[in-house]
Structure 1
Amino acid sequence: MNYEAVIGLEIHAQLRTKTKIFCGCSTEFGSEPNSQTCPVCIGMPGVLPVLNRRVVEFAIKTGLAMNCRISPYSRFARKNYFYPDLPKGYQISQYELPICEQGHVDIVVDGVKRRVGITRIHMEEDAGKNIHERDCSLVDLNRTGVPLLEIVTEPDIRSPKEAATFMRKLRTILRYLEVCDGNMEQGSLRCDANVSVRPEGSTEFGTKTEIKNINSFRFVEKALEYEIKRQIKVLSEGGTVVQETRLWDSEKGVTFSMRSKEEAHDYRYFPEPDLVPLVVEKEWIDEIRKAMPELPDEKFKRYT
């Protein structure tokens, strides 16, 4: 039996703002650990977040470049979970009302044009960073509160090569817009991939696995190639693919299990009580659209 892959991507892009999303701390990379924090971004009692207008502008700009509908009304939500690098015990994100929805990006693979749907783009704050030593783990909170865009695709990708091509196209767009530097080695562009396989011709989705924090285009392709082969082997031998989160080991060239569906977080989203809903006026969207640079696809059409 022949199988085809079904792939969807979740990309986190750190925004090139000078200050964090809800406070005035610097976002500069590589500073002394815990030197760019304040009571707001480390979640001290009684503090209130203030939304950075430039983050909203960058989100709208990205949504327009990816042919999204810009929501005139969106809302922030609390994503609740415990981890040492999350001092508040929750992350401010967007859930049921994101700022951008229903877009698409066109890619060309082996001379064939493919359209990848964009489910949503939403704003959120980054978490801190754990630094693991031999006998202890240290926490650096400089990254806490750095603004992110999470870009979620439809499950329209059918091969590892298409996934890597989409990632390259996405980085090109973000760099053209000057909203993200796209440095995967520094973590400013990170990718999670959801992948399943199904018999060719089937319209039903198979059981998916999620591969977390892939940090290069080559690894996106390699991790997906391995995971697709692994799932096909399991099914061919009469087994069942388990829904789980997996990590990519670049040295061994394999994915390995991180946690099963039963161990997955229940984030218990609810509306962020310290931020009013975000209302975006059409005039501002039009103003941002007029100021946008010529994008790669438009430039290509003009010269060919």
Structure 2
Amino acid sequence: MTESTYRIQGATGEWEVVIGLEVHAQVTSQAKLFSGAATAFGAEPNTQVSLVDAAMPGMLPVPNRECIRQAVRTGMAIKAQINKWSRFDRKNYFYADLPQGYQISQLYHPLVGEGAIEISLDDKNPDAATKKIGIERIHVEQDAGKLMHDQHPTRSYVDLNRSGVALMEIVSKPDMRSPAEAGAYLSKLRTILRYVGSCDGNMDQGSMRADVNVSVRKPGEPFGTRTETKNVNSVRFVMAVVEHEANRQVDVLEAGGKVVQETRLYDPDRNETRSMRSKEDAHDYRYFPDPDLLPLELDDAFLEECRQSLPELPDAKRRRYEKDLGLSAYNAATLTADADTARWFEALLAEGARIQKKSEGEVAKASANWLLSELYGALNRLGKSLEDSPVGPEEGAELLALIADGTISGTIAKQVFEIMLETGDSAPKIVEEKGLKQTSDTGAIEAAVAKVLADNGDKVEQYKAGKEALFGFFVGQTMKAMQGKANPQVVNELIRKALS
């Protein structure tokens, strides 16, 4: 663990930045927290609203077991304390997108207590320093609806589809000290949520957003007054908010002013934060236990079920890839940074091992290199994601098997892969139909080698005089003469023999 050296250079000296994040993550579930209404993204306005969500008289909330389960699993994934007894509270405030006039949340007795997340500022460097960021709590609460101000020239409309959707509020401790640390924390948290399956992490769709708390102080002094910038919806924007807001506060303090504890809004177009309202305290919301809901009591069987359902998490998976599969730290970190990438790689690995009748460790390096260079390169060129890849893990494994058993060379494999992307045909079919099989026919290769050496007598003399770098030239010319179909190992052996 290391302390950040990030400082803001002010006119009166150095300033340290103190950052805490409150992340609102939409729980992955088919229904809302207290009703059976659907939660799908992109539905027509007000088509996913139950009588409970609309706060009709006499409608009572009933907790959704799956939402509670997902929050508990998230807590377990960060090794947090799981509270067997927790309670829901009413947070009272008036706003047009909140039909009840209060939000059901958990202020005093949250479902999940303290935990931690370990971050690295350079995941691809195995020697990079790491830091633990404390998690203060995770509680579950309802989301509000959404006001739409662009539908009518003089009126605002309200869409209650999100009203009552289950959120986990994941509150960090003020342990971050730089924009990079805040970005690394948010990225790592999103990765964990996606691995667990408790939130899809799609910040552009609003299913994960962060409230960014920032204050500044002279190093070693007590915490300063913080501001909270609400609903920031990307890792890059979170880092930008920290940088802008910290510099703004330093300017205020060095001009003799005071930082006001307030809620602010980030404008990404101008890269600045603006004041929204003064920051409320808990007593402003008149919290009290929700009389319609009994306390949540979790038994050991439920907790064990949650624990057993957890997948292998990214840190453990990365270590396994390095230790058991022999992958480089860079490749292991890249493959495990996203849950979908890791699943794709493991499907490729399993199919490759099956086809080649080898262990996963024996095919891992070639599989990782192909996925990260060839496949990702092609997808970037085509503007596609791994999910939309025209070539699946099974087809990729077939291509790699043809290289491994010497049926085709690496050069021919690139051609075959391009045809696979265009046509959707399998690698064995393309190789068979286009006659691309690699030849180990020594007679044909010997003839090609002899011609290359005869046509380049001057270079043969230079090679024999000590210019050994020309060996690669002879190999390249021979492969060109054989249209890339010659076995490179056989080519190398025959050229060495002819030149000796």
Note whether the superposition's TM-score is higher than 0.5. Answer: yes
Cross-structure match for 2:81: 69
In the aligned structure 2, how far is the partner of 1:290 from the partner of 1:87?
38
Displacement of 1:263: 9.8
Greater per-residue helix proportion: 2
Match of 1:159 among 173, 178, 188: 178
The yes-or-no answer on 1:249 pairing with 2:264 is no
Are the aligned partners of 1:40 and 1:49 in contact in 2 as well (CA < 8 Å)? yes
Match of 2:136 among 114, 119, 137: 119
Cross-structure match for 2:197: 178
Cα distance per residue 1:21-70 (max 9 Å; x no partner): 11111111111111111211111111111110001100100000111100
Q: Classify the secondary structure of the residue corresponding to 2:60.
A: coil
Matches within 5 A, 1:121-140: 121-133=138-150, 134-140=153-159
In the aligned structure 2, how far is the partner of 1:33 from the partner of 1:234?
43
Q: Classify the secondary structure of the residue corresponding to 1:155.
A: coil
Q: Classify the secondary structure of the residue corresponding to 2:187.
A: helix
Q: Which amino acid aligns with 2:155?
A: C
Are the aligned partners of 2:212 and 2:241 in contact in 1 as well (CA < 8 Å)? no
Cα distance per residue 1:104-148 (max 9 Å; x no partner): 000011422111000000011111000012422100001111111
Q: Which amino acid aligns with 1:296?
A: P
In the aligned structure 1, how far is the partner of 2:37 from the partner of 2:183?
34
In the aligned structure 1, how far is the partner of 2:255 from the partner of 2:79?
43
In the aligned structure 2, how far is the partner of 1:43 from the partner of 1:199?
49
Residue-pair matches, total: 303
Match of 1:2 among 7, 14, 21: 14
Matches within 5 A, 1:44-123: 44-110=56-122, 111-123=128-140
Match of 1:288 among 306, 311, 318: 306
Long gaps (5+) in structure 2 = 1-12, 123-127, 323-500
Cross-structure match for 2:321: 303
Q: Percent of aligned pairs with the same residue?
A: 55
Cross-structure match for 2:33: 21
The yes-or-no answer on 1:192 pairing with 2:211 is yes
Q: Classify the secondary structure of the residue corresponding to 1:148.
A: strand
In the aligned structure 2, how far is the partner of 1:27 from the partner of 1:289?
25
Displacement of 1:223: 1.1
In the aligned structure 1, how far is the partner of 2:280 from the partner of 2:197?
40
Are the aligned partners of 2:214 and 2:242 in contact in 1 as well (CA < 8 Å)? yes
Cα distance per residue 1:162-201 (max 9 Å; x no partner): 1111111111011111111111111000100111000012
Q: Classify the secondary structure of the residue corresponding to 2:285.
A: coil
Long gaps (5+) in structure 1 = none
TM-score, structure 1 normalization: 0.97
Displacement of 1:250: 0.6
Greater per-residue strand proportion: 1
Q: Classify the secondary structure of the residue corresponding to 2:182.
A: helix
Q: Classify the secondary structure of the residue corresponding to 1:70.
A: coil
Cross-structure match for 1:209: 227
Are the aligned partners of 2:16 and 2:219 in contact in 1 as well (CA < 8 Å)? yes
Q: Classify the secondary structure of the residue corresponding to 1:101.
A: coil
Cα distance per residue 1:257-292 (max 9 Å; x no partner): 111247998111100111100001122212211221
In the aligned structure 1, how far is the partner of 2:274 from the partner of 2:114?
33
Cross-structure match for 1:268: 286
TM-score, structure 2 normalization: 0.59
Larger radius of gyration: 2
The yes-or-no answer on 1:236 pairing with 2:254 is yes
Over 3 Å counting, the alpha-carbon distance change for 1:213 and 1:12 in structure 2 is same
In the aligned structure 1, how far is the partner of 2:312 from the partner of 2:281?
45
Q: Classify the secondary structure of the residue corresponding to 1:303.
A: helix
In the aligned structure 2, how far is the partner of 1:177 from the partner of 1:113?
22
Matches within 5 A, 1:135-150: 135-150=154-169
Cα distance per residue 1:76-120 (max 9 Å; x no partner): 011110000000101111110000011000001142211100000
Higher relative contact order (CA 8 A, sep 6+): 1
In the aligned structure 2, how far is the partner of 1:77 from the partner of 1:239?
37
